[in-house]
Amino acid sequence: MILGHIGARKGSKGVPRKNFRMIHGKPLIDWSLDQLLEHPLVGAVVVSTDDEEIYDHAVAKGCLKIGLRPAHLATDTAGKWGVWQHALESSERLIGPVEAFLDLDCTSPLRLPEDITAALELFRAERPDMVMSCCEARKNPYFNLVEPDATGALHVSKPLPGGVVARQQAPVVYEHAASTYVVDPAYLKRSKGLWEGRVIPYLMPPERCVDIDTPFDFRLVEFLMQEAKNG
């Protein structure tokens, strides 16, 4: 049994109520929720939210009835990990133990169904504690990310002996793309955060890793969706 999960908090400062805002004919959440509900490897789906409208919408589409998210998990400072733990525990009361916890971020709607399949296959092949979607970082801390010292002078964030004069010489750095996660339920239950265990990357192209956090991001995703539709 693979449990699909989406977290969709009511509040959003960057784009008001973005998770349920319409984009290309349906609410933003549905671009990810429909992928879970339609995927042949996903046995059950749950949406964790403090929004009654989103909750009723998800249940009507066939998601598990776990009730609204507790208030302490619905604040600006509530972390993803606690939300996942609560959703897993609440879901297993209804469906029993699950083999994998598959989370899709509803603010990253450009992933393809093939990305979900590939992430699940990587999880089954490697048996890590977690598979996390990533893309190659556009900026590299060994080459073109800089930070000021106490005097305000800039220095490369992660200097290497002899320096790095070309990007190709710099170590590969990945960007954590908030899109797709596959988590071992036992790891999720025993750990306090993402990085305590063996976390491995599932690499996606950057154009499928755009995360909506601002009005500009929303317009960009709309544009990319229209381009994909036009072929």
Chain segment 43-86, per-residue pLDDT in tens: 999 999 999 999 999 999 999 999 999 989 988 778 899 999 99
**Residue 102 to residue 98: CA distance in whole angstroms:** 10
* pLDDT value at residue 42: 98
The residue to which tokens 């609560």 are assigned: 86
pLDDT at residue 78, as a whole number: 82
**pLDDT of 24-35, one tens digit each?**
999 999 999 999
Beta bridge partners of 203: 134
What pLDDT was estimated at residue 228? 85
What band does 6 get if pLDDT is binned at 50, 70 and 90? Answer: very high
pLDDT digits (tens, 9 = 90+) for 88-101: 999 999 999 999 99
Exposure letters 94-126 (e unless 16+ CB within 10 A, then b): eeeebebbbbbbbbbbbbeeebbebbbebbeee
- Residue 164 confidence (pLDDT): 86
Stretch 192-208: mean pLDDT, rounded?
95
- Three-class secondary structure assignment of 143-160: CCCEEECCCCCEEECCCC
The length of the chain is 231
Give the pLDDT confidence of 150-185 residue by residue, as tens digits. 999 999 999 998 888 887 888 999 999 989 999 999
Q: What percent of the chain has pLDDT over 90?
A: 83
The helix/strand/coil state of 212 is coil
- Across the chain, mean pLDDT equals 94
pLDDT above 70 coverage of the chain, percent: 99
Cα separations in angstroms, 86 against 3, 89, 159, 192, 224: 13, 5, 41, 13, 34
User: Are 135 and 177 a contacting pair, CB within 8 Å?
Assistant: yes
What's the confidence (pLDDT) of residue 69? 94
Query: What pLDDT score was predicted for residue 14?
Result: 67
Q: Work out the pLDDT band at 104, boundaries 50, 70, 90.
A: very high
Instruction: Give the bridge partners for 201, in sequence order.
Output: 132
What's the mean pLDDT in 107-117? 97
